[in-house]
Structure 1
Amino acid sequence: MDRRSLLKTSLILAAWSGLPAASLFAAARTNDNIDDEAQPFDFDMLQRRARDMASKEYQSNRVTLPPTLASLTPQQYNAIRYDPSHSLWHDVEGRQLDAQLFHVGMGFDQPVRVYKVDPETQQAREFHFSPELFDYQGANVDASQLQEDLGFAGFRVFKAPSLTERDILSFLGASYFRAVGHTEQYGLSARGVAVNSYFDTPEEFPAFTHFWLETPAADSTTFTTYALLDSPSLTGAYRFVIHCEDDRVVMDIDKHLFPRQEIAQLGIAPLTSMFFCGTHQRRMCNTIHPQIHDSDRLTMWRGNDEWVCRPLNNPPRVQFNAFTDSNPKGFGLLQMHQDFEHYEDVLSNYHRRPSLWVEPRDEWGDGEIHLLEIPTTGETTDNIVAFWKPAQPVEAGQALNFSYRLYWSGERPFDSGLVKIDTTRSGMGGFTEGWAPGEHYPDVWARRFAVDFIEGDIESLWNGDRNVYATISASTGEVRDVQLLWMDPVKSLRVLFDWYPENDLQDPVDMRMVLEADGEIISETWLYQYFPPPPEKRIYPPHPVPQAPAAE
C-alpha cells in the first residue's frame, strides 16, 4: 500500500461478516463498560509483551466493519458524538483534563483496546465499546448493526474550561497523533514510527493497537498514556508523558522497538505535513489565497550547532533529500508566518496552525534527517514527511530505544541567537532590480531569488562598522548580481541574487547561503532546492509593442 492509496483503500467497502464478540474482545464487565477484574500493568510489562510479540508471526487486527459504519462519509463520521457523561475521567472531581473515545468506521477499521489505569495501584481495567456511549443523530448509522464489541478508533483529550467542546490532542488512525498550540488549532501530525516511506517497496503503516491511559490527578494538566504498536515489520512499546500547558502541548516520549525483520528505512519521530504553495513557489497558487500550507520549512539544529532552514516545496515530481548528522540537537516542521494576512483563509485558519519540534533526550548517534516531498494539486493531501533515520542497519531480533520530546507550539522552543530566515521569494531575473526590462528583455534567461533575514542583531550589524555580506553557492549554474538591501519598514535585510543555468537540464539545483560579518557566520544556513523549467519555458513574456492608432 502506498501513501496516496492509503486513504482510498481504507474507504473501500467490504461485506459484513457478522464477527462474533469473542473474535474481538470478550470480558466480564460492569454496567459502565469497565471490566470487573483489574490486571497489573507497568511499562516494563508492556516492553516484555512487545518483545515477545516480535518473536512471533504478525497477526493483523484489521476487521470487516458492519456496512452502516464502512459506508460512512467523512461528514457522517464527524457527526458521531461521544457522550461526555461517559468520558474516561468524568468521575474525577475538579478535573483539569478529560478524555473521550473515537468510534470505528469509515477508514478506521483497526480497532484499538483502551484501558483505564489507576496510577496509585498500577491496575488496569479495559473500557469496552457499546452504542450507548455515542450519539448517532445526523450520522445515518443503523445502531441495530452495532451489537458486537467493536472497540474504538482512538482517543482525544480536552482541557478545562472546555472539557467537552474543543479537544487539544488526539490519537487516531494507524500510529498518527497530533496536538495544538496556543491557538487551539490542529495542523500537522506526528506518528509513532515510519517504515520504508521512500523505498522500492510499498510503505508500511504500523498501528497502535492498545492504549493504557493513567487517570490524572484532579489539579493536574499532565497525564501519561502507554501504547502498544504492531506491524509486519516490528512491534513497539511507547510511553507518552503529555504536558498540556497554557500555550502549548509538550510530549515526552520513550519508545522501545523490536524488529521482526530487516527494515531498510526506519523513521524515528516522523512528522507529516502539507505544503501546497507559499511565497517562493507561486506556480500552484492559482487560488484566492496568497499561501496554503501547514508548515513552510524544515529547520534543523545539527550536532555541530549549525542551524539550517530548508524551505519546503510542492515539487513537480517526488523529491527525497537526506541530511547527514551525528547526535542532532533537534529538528522540526515549522509554520513561521502566523498573521492572517499571509493566508487570507477564514475556513482553514492556516495562520493558527502549530509548529512541531523534535528534541532528542539522549544521543541518537550517526544517521540522517530524511525529507520526502510529494507533488500535490490540493490542500487536503499531506505531502511532506520528515524523520530521523539511524545509520546502523535494522535487523530482526534487535531492541532499539529512543527518547525524545515533542513541542506543539506557535514558536520553536529554542532560540538560535542567530539572524533568522524569514521569507524566500523568486521571480524573473537578468535585469536590474527596480527597473522595467525596457524595450527588449535580456538575451539570457535567469531566475531571481530574494531571501529576507530578520531578528538577531541584524539591524545593529547592518548599521555598524562590520562588513556584512552573503556567501552563496549552487550545485549547478552560476550565481550573479548579489545585492544586500536594508528594508527599514520591516527591519529586515534582503539578499537578492540571480541564478543562470549552465545547461538545459531540469535536475534540482541545491542552493546554500549564509550571512557573514567580517568572516563570522551570523545567520542560519539557508538551503533551497530549485527546479528549473524546461528549455522551452525559459523565455520572458512577450514585450508589448506600442501600436500607432488606426487611421480614421
Structure 2
Amino acid sequence: MERRTLIKASMALASLGLPGWPAFAATNAGATSTDSEGKPFDFNWLQNHARGLSKKPYQDTTQKVPEQLAKLRPLDYQRITYRPSKALWAEDPNADVRLQFFHIGMHFNQPVRMHTIDRDTRKAREIHFSPELFDYEGVGIDPKSLEGNDLGFAGFRVTKKPRWADNQDIVSFLGASYFRAIDKNNQYGLSARGLAINTAANGKEEEFPAFTQFWFVHPAPGETRFITYALLDSPSATGAYRFDIDCQEERVVMGVQKYIYPRKSIDRLGIAPMTSMYLMGPSQAQRRDTIHPQIHDSDRLSMWRGNGEWVCRPLYNPQNIQYNAFADENPKGFGLLQTDHDFESYMDDQAWYSRRPSLWIEPTSAWGKGAINLIELPTVGEDVDNIVAFWVPEKPVQPNESLSFAYTLYWSPMPPVAPTLARVDKTYTGMGNVLEGWIPGDHSPKEYARRFAVNFKGGDLMSLPEDAELKPVVEASHGKVDLEQVFRFDEADAYRAIFDWTPESDSTEPVTLRMYLAKDGKAMSETWLYQWVPPKPDQRFY
C-alpha cells in the first residue's frame, strides 16, 4: 500500500479529531461471534509461530473485498458502526474497557483475525466476522449479501467507562501496523506503528508491515489495563508483539515487547516508529498562505540521549525530503511532542491542534548502538502525515536472526520526564544582517543573512540576576555565525538568544545549527538543534 493512500484513508476517519461515531446504548449482553472451543495460547507460542513463519515465503493475505465495500467513500465507511451491545467484554458488568472492531472496506482490505483469551484458562477463541455485529444504516449495503463470508476485521478500537455513553474511543488500531491513542484532551493526533521498513531508504520502496492477528486477554474486574498480543507479517519480516495497554484518566500508557524475525536483509529497520504532521509554525510562517498562525500535530523531536544530554529538534516542512540520523547508545527516551497547547497559537476550532497529544518513548531494555532517525517530507496540506521518527539499530539487519526490543509509549500532553535545564520554547527565523525594526529602503543589508531567534524557558533562568552573564554557544556545520546575543525577555517569561547565519559560498547544502545557553562554562539549557536549507544564490535578497 502506498504511503499517501494509507494515510489519507486513516485520516479520513479522524481528520477533525475523534471519529464522529453515532451514540448507542449498550443494553444487551455481549454477543460477539466466537468459536466455542478454545486453544492454549501464550507469548512463547506466538514468538515460535512468528519465527517459523519468517522461514517460509511471504503469503499476501490481502483480499479482494466485495465491490460494494471496496468502493465505499470515507464518510460512508465511517457510517458502518459496530454495535456497542456486541462489544468484546460487554457481557462482563465488571469490565471497565470494551473492544469494538472496524469493518473491512475501502482501502482496508487486509483481514485481521481477532481472538479473545480467557484470563483463567489462557485459552484463545477466534472472533468471527458477521454482518449482525454492525449497523449499516444509511450506507446502502444489504447486510444479507455479506452473510456466510468470514471477511475478518480491519482493526479495533477501545472504549472506556464512562465514555460508553457517547461511544467514543480512546485507542485505535487501524491500517497496516498503525495505532493511536488520546489523552485527557480527548483528541487524536500523531500515530505510532509496529515497525517501519525502508522509509526513505536510498530509493527503496517503503514497506508497510501489517498486524494480521490479535489476541485479547480479558481484563480483571474494574481494570482499565489489558493485554493484547499481535502477529506482524510482511515480505521482509515477521514479529511477535505484546502490548500492555493502560487507559488511565490523564493519559494512555502502553508497554511494548516485540521480537522481530527478518526474512531478508533490511536497509533501514525502524523501531518504535512515530508518524505526525507539520505544515507550518512560527519558524515557517510563510510556508502556507492560511488564516491559521500554526498547523501541526507535533512541533518538535525531543531526545534524551544516553549520555544524559537533552536535545530539542524543532520540526520543519522542507522543500525536499530531509533525512537526519542522530547517533546514540542506549537512549533514555525520545518523542514527537506537541508542546504548544494554547488555542490562540492555532485559532482552529475544527481540527483542535491545541489539544493534540505528545508521544514519548522510553526504552525499557538495552537498545545498544544506533541512531534516532528523523524524516521530514514536503507537504502543502494538513491531511498527509509528513514527519516520521524511529530508532535504527547500528548493526545491519540480516535474515534468520532475532531482534528484541522493549519500551513504553506515553500518550499525554507532555512527556512524563523533562530536563531540569531550561527548555526550548519557540523558534523564529527571518531576515538577518539588519537592525530590529528595520524599514525597507533604510539601512538595507549589505549581504544576505538569516536570523534565528530561540526562546528558552524554565530551569533556573528566570531566577538569575538581571546582569547574569549568559552566553549562547552556537555552532554551524558550514557558513558564518555572528551577531550572537542573549537577553532576558520578561514579556515572554523567557530568555531569548539571537544570531545571524551568513553563507560563505553558493552552496545550498543544508546547514545544521546547534545552540545552548551557558553560564561560566556550564550548560543552562537543553540543546537546540535545527536544519536550514539556504536559498539559491539568485534568491538571496530581501
> Does the alignment reach a TM-score above 0.5?
yes
The partner residue of 1:188 within 173, 187, 190 is 190
Q: How far apart, CA to CA, are the structure 2 residues paired with 1:525 and 1:290?
A: 26
State which drifts further: 477-486 or 293-302.
Answer: 477-486
* Cα distance change, pair 385–499 in 1 and its aligned pair in 2 (3 A): same
Indicate yes or no: 2:504 matched with 1:510.
Answer: no
**Separation in 2, partners of 1:9, 1:519:** 51
Would the aligned equivalents of 1:196 and 1:263 in 2 still touch at CA under 8 Å? yes
Query: 1:24 corresponds to which residue?
Result: none
Alignment partner, residue 284 of structure 1:
287
**Residue type of the partner of 1:178?**
R
Unaligned runs of 5+ in 1: 12-29, 541-552
Q: Name 1:150's counterpart in structure 2.
A: 151
Decide which of 260, 263, 267 is 1:264's aligned counterpart.
267
Q: Structure 2: which 5+ residue stretches go unaligned?
A: 12-29
Quote the residue 1:242 is aligned against.
245
Q: 1:305 and 2:308 equivalent?
A: yes
Confirm or deny that 1:331 pairs with 2:334. Answer: yes
How far apart are residue 145 of structure 1 and its match? 3.1
Q: Secondary structure at the match of 1:295?
A: coil
The residue that corresponds to 2:22 in the other structure is none
Q: Give the C-alpha shift of residue 274 in structure 1.
A: 0.5
Name the count of aligned residue pairs: 521
Amino acid in the other structure paired with 1:99: L
Secondary structure, aligned partner of 1:267: strand
Deviations 1:429-457 (A, max 9, x none): 21112443553411212111110000111
Q: Which residue of structure 2 aligns with residue 377 of structure 1?
A: 380
Give, in whole Å, the separation in 1 of the partners of 2:242 and 2:503.
51
Whether the aligned pair in 1 keeps the contact of 2:302 and 2:311 (CA below 8 Å) is: yes
Identity of aligned residues (%): 53
Superposition deviation, residue 284 in structure 1: 1.8
Matched, 1:424 2:427: yes
Counterpart position of 1:459: 462
Q: Say if 2:481 is the partner of 1:468.
A: no
Cross-structure match for 2:16:
none
Letter in 1 for 2:532: Y
Moved more, 268-277 or 1-10: 1-10
Aligned counterparts of 1:539 and 1:438: Cα–Cα separation in 2: 13
Deviation (angstroms), 1:347: 0.7
In structure 2, what residue type is equivalent to 1:480? D
Q: Spell out, residue by residue over 1:309-344, the C-alpha distance to the aligned partner (whole angstroms, 9 max, x if none).
A: 001111000111011001111110000000101111
1:402 aligns with 2:405: yes
Q: Give the deviation of 1:6 after TM superposition.
A: 4.8
Cα distance in structure 2, aligned partners of 1:486 and 1:415: 22
Q: Contact 2:466–2:488 (CA<8 Å) still a contact in 1?
A: no
User: In 2, are the aligned partners of 1:461 and 1:468 still within 8 Å (CA)?
Assistant: no
Q: Which amino acid aligns with 2:460?
A: D
Maintained 8 Å contact 1:237/1:256: yes
| 1:115 match: secondary structure | strand
- 35 and 2 in structure 1: CA distance in 2 versus 1, 3 angstrom threshold: closer
Taking the aligned partners of 1:319 and 1:539, their CA distance within structure 2 comes to: 24
Alpha-carbon contact 1:278-1:285 (below 8 Å) kept: no
Q: Is the 8 A contact 2:8 2:384 kept in 1?
A: no
Could you tell me which residue of structure 2 aligns to residue 521 of structure 1? 523
Partner of 2:14: none
Q: Report the counterpart of residue 314 of structure 1 in structure 2.
A: 317
8 Å contact 2:373–2:391 — kept in the other structure?
Answer: yes
CA offsets per residue over residues 113-159 of structure 1, 9 Å max, x none? 10111111101111111111111112232334312111100101011
Give the secondary-structure state (helix, strand or coil) at the position aligned to 2:464. helix
SS of alignment partner, residue 168 of structure 2: strand
Counterparts of 1:282 and 1:232, CA distance in 2? 41
| Structure whose alpha-carbon radius of gyration is higher | 1
Alpha carbons of structure 1 residues 519 and 8: separation in structure 2 relative to 1, 3 Å: closer
After TM superposition, the score normalised by the length of structure 2 is 0.93
Match of 2:23 in 1: none
For residues 249 and 479 of structure 1, the distance between their equivalents in structure 2, rounded to whole angstroms, comes to 43
Q: Is the 8 A contact 1:300 1:309 kept in 2?
A: yes
In structure 2, C-alpha distance between the alignment counterparts of 1:416 and 1:205, rounded to whole Å: 35
Does the alignment pair 1:165 with 2:167? yes
**Which residue does the alignment assign to 2:176?**
174
Quick one: distance in 2 between partners of 1:254 and 1:280?
38
SS of corresponding position for 1:75: helix
What is the Cα-based RMSD across aligned positions, in Å? 1.7
Say which is worse superposed, 228-237 or 213-222, in terms of deviation. Answer: 213-222
Query: Retained in 1: the 8 A contact 2:358–2:415?
Result: yes
User: Structure 1 residues 386 and 133 mapped into 2: Cα distance closer, same or farther (>3 Å)?
Assistant: same
Q: Which residue of 2 aligns with 1:23?
A: none
Supply the distance in 2 between the matched residues of 1:81 and 1:4 (Cα, whole angstroms).
25
Give the superposition deviation at 1:166.
Answer: 1.2
Q: 2:204 aligns with which of 201, 205, 216?
A: 201
* Match in the other structure for 2:258: 255
Correspondence 1:428-447 to 2 at 5 A: 428-436=431-439, 439-447=442-450
- Alignment check: 8 A CA contact 2:10 2:174 kept: no
Describe the shift of the 1:92–1:292 C-alpha distance in structure 2 as closer, same or farther (beyond 3 A): same
Amino acid at match of 1:374: L
The one-letter amino acid paired with 1:259 is P
Cα distance, 1:208 vs structure 2: 0.3
Residue 477 of structure 1 deviates from its aligned partner by: 1.4
1:489 aligned counterpart, secondary structure: helix
Please tell me whether the aligned partners of residues 419 and 453 of structure 1 are also in contact (alpha carbons under 8 angstroms).
yes
CA drift at 1:285: 2.9
SS at match of 1:463: coil
SS at match of 1:299: strand
> Which residue of structure 2 lines up, in the alignment, with residue 550 of structure 1?
none
Could you say if the C-alpha distance between residues 495 and 235 of structure 1 is closer, same or farther in structure 2, counting changes exceeding 3 Å?
same
8 A contact 1:431–1:437 mirrored in 2: no
1:233 aligns with 2:252: no
Bigger drift between 248-257 and 486-495 goes to: 486-495
